Chain A
Amino acid sequence: MSTPNAPTTGHGDISTGVAGGDSNASATRITPGNALRPEDIALEVRTGLAKPTEDVAEYALRLGDDALILAQRLGHWISRAPELEEDIALGNIALDQLGHARSFLTYAGASMPNEDGNPQSEDDLAYFRREHEFRSVQLFEQPNGDFAATIARQFVVSYYQYELYRRLTESTDATLAAIAAKAVKEVDYHRDHSAQWVLRLAGGTDESRQRMIHGLRTMWPYVNELFQDDELTERLAQAGAAVAPSSLKADFDRLIEDVLKEAELEVPDVPAAPGGGRYGRHSEHLGYILAEMQVLAREHPGASW
């Protein structure tokens, strides 16, 4: 708008668009262009176009839970970040993760029928499963800690997810490949964001460097679990639907080390925790995350929002 007298109709005229009107104006259609949305997958599930094998569904549940729990953690930063720019950046990463979670969970639910034999929705899976039914690995539920701990967790997650999604774009399962194709572009930005902060914090002040080192040490025990193979991933890897987690490790190590080297940091030398998240064995933290996330939905079972 170049002149003060230009008409402002359409910019926030609250008399339009609220009741009826533009059918594309729903607040839920938040992804522009042709990008794959969870609603598209839900439609494909309803019409029977998308139905994962049981193995793929179980696998999608794992990836969906990882992303959901991380989104829940990151969402806490919005309105609490060190700088407004970071409220926005961490909010963006949380939103991306939540979008991936919604897609994976919607797809997983297609082969996880409820008592009536219908597919479970993303919300059935997110809000009405119990702690031991969640399949996320323990890194994702680690507390935010200070900003350095959050960055350390994000640094590991982003490089891991990038290697994973990059390969999943070649999955023989078309829906997994499509979700990954969207996710990998977003996770590439998350890598950039976290790597830049690792460099800044490591090379900033003495305090920030100590905090960065501490953050990495806090998160590192949970890195190993990301790369553990099991029977499910072996079957899926053989079928070409997924990749063995262990096969991501070499690229992950190389790229992580490049950044740490530039930051003049070492890969933390700490013992690995045994993990077990993929089988419902979680750290003490997940129960609190779920209690908070699920409370309202569970107060009103069967309600729609």
Chain B
Amino acid sequence: MAAQNLQSVPAELTPEEDAAGQAHFDRIIAEDSRIEPRDWMPAAYRKTLLRQVSQHAHSEIIGMQPEANWISRAPSLKRKAILMAKVQDEAGHGLYLYSAAETLGQSRDKMMDDLIAGKARYSSIFNYPARTWADMGAIGWLVDGAAICNQVPLCRASYGPYGRAMVRVCKEESFHQRQGFEILLELSNGTPEQKQMAQDAVNRWYAPALMMFGPPDDDSPNSKQSMAWNIKRFSNDELRSRFVGMMVEQVKVLGLTLPDDQIRFNEDTKKWEHGPLDWDEFHEVLAGRGPCNAQRLERRRAAHDDGAWVREAAAAYAAKQSKKTKEYAA
């Protein structure tokens, strides 16, 4: 179903046309304006974006799972409603992002197949387990908070469909972050057990959230090109530092602490600094050896496989209806 109406990949172009396309592309980038789906773009730009946008879509879809894990057990009906709405938003984000990726010439079905086959990546953070209710707070506050820091600059990404999708995604993420903060605040002001639950969740999610910004700048080979193409606007370390600066203030309001005694504001560089992160663990999880990697993929595969007969039925029904309409018209 999703494979229809794709933006077709441009036909063979002459060298002159390629040169003209490159000049047009370079001018748009230099003007910090936007590339649209029908514009000529370098193959590497298309490939980089397709990888980034589809990974982002996959992250939204896999990211539904740790939170869906608590929908049935949410401790109040209000929290249950908010959580349901939040996980539903994530499905919506996945949809816009797959649509944006489709404008680059790949079908959603293909992207989904790659995800299930383990060929595509998604944000490593979702390979950690959501053990307690407080994880709903910590995921909202820290994980969505980090995602927003990453994504607000992406609203200005040079590729039009991606940038526009991010505007809407960021609005909803901001709401998600606020609800996460609210969960933690309520727990922190609750019983001693609730407060302990909140602190434990913050302790577990802090470092993985910081690692969401990606490897340190001196170990991030693709960043430079992405910045030259106006896809990425700030370096990994720059965004991470900004995030730490925001969290260090907000955690005080929560009455909790961050599990990092080396956070400080460097007066010389005017940047926030944090303690060392375990990049070996990051690479282990990225390589598939995290606590939930197998579980997350298996769940997505099961949903996809169990639903195959439904998608086939919908396609068969649509084909029959369309045939009927044509016969009627003829």
A interface residues (Cβ-Cβ under 8 A, vs B): 1, 3-6, 8, 11-15, 17-19, 25-28, 30, 38, 68, 71-72, 75-76, 78-88, 91-92, 94-95, 98-99, 101-102, 105, 122-123, 126-127, 146-147, 199-201, 203-205, 207-208, 211, 292-293, 295-297, 300, 302-305
A303 with B191: CB separation less than 8 A: yes
- Let me know if B64 is at the binding interface, CB within 8 A: yes
- Let me know if B182 is at the binding interface, CB within 8 A: yes
B314 with A204: CB separation less than 8 A: yes
A80 with B303: CB separation less than 8 A: yes
A303 with B310: CB separation less than 8 A: no
A208 with B310: CB separation less than 8 A: yes
Tally A-B pairs: CB < 8 A: 219
- Let me know if B131 is at the binding interface, CB within 8 A: no
A-B contact pairs, 10 of them (CB 8 A): A14-B145, A27-B175, A75-B72, A79-B65, A86-B307, A99-B81, A204-B312, A292-B72, A296-B74, A303-B190
B interface residues (Cβ-Cβ under 8 A, vs A): 1, 32-34, 61, 64-65, 68, 71-82, 84-85, 87-88, 91-92, 94-95, 98, 133, 145, 148-149, 151-153, 155-158, 163-164, 167, 170-171, 173-175, 177-179, 181-183, 186-187, 190-191, 193-194, 230, 246, 250, 253, 299, 302-303, 306-317, 320
The closest CB in chain A to the CB of B190 belongs to: A303
A87 with B91: CB separation less than 8 A: yes
Q: How far is the CA of A211 from the CA of B314 in the complex (A)?
A: 14
Q: How far is the CB of B138 from chain A (nearest CB, A)?
A: 14
Q: How far is the CA of A11 from the CA of B166 in the complex (A)?
A: 10
A12 with B91: CB separation less than 8 A: no
B85 with A296: CB separation less than 8 A: no
Q: How far is the CB of A89 from chain B (nearest CB, A)?
A: 9
Given A12-B170, A14-B145, A18-B177, verify A205-B312 contact (CB < 8 Å). Answer: yes
A98 with B84: CB separation less than 8 A: yes
Give 4 nearest A-B pairs by CB, closest first: A82-B307, A204-B313, A208-B313, A12-B170
Of B74, B152, B190, B309, the contact of A207 (CB 8 Å cutoff): B309
Q: How far is the CA of A80 from the CA of B95 in the complex (A)?
A: 15
* Set of chain B residues within 8 Å of A101, measured between Cβ atoms: 77
A4 with B307: CB separation less than 8 A: no
Q: How far is the CA of A75 from the CA of B250 in the complex (A)?
A: 32
* Set of chain A residues within 8 Å of B77, measured between Cβ atoms: 38, 68, 98, 101-102, 105, 122-123, 126
The closest CB in chain B to the CB of A87 belongs to: B91
Of B68, B152, B299, B309, the contact of A211 (CB 8 Å cutoff): B309
Q: How far is the CB of B91 from chain A (nearest CB, A)?
A: 4
Of A5, A13, A19, the contact of B174 (CB 8 Å cutoff): A13
* Set of chain A residues within 8 Å of B314, measured between Cβ atoms: 83, 200, 204
Which of A68, A79, A86, A92: most chain B CB closer than 10 A? A79
A14 with B149: CB separation less than 8 A: yes
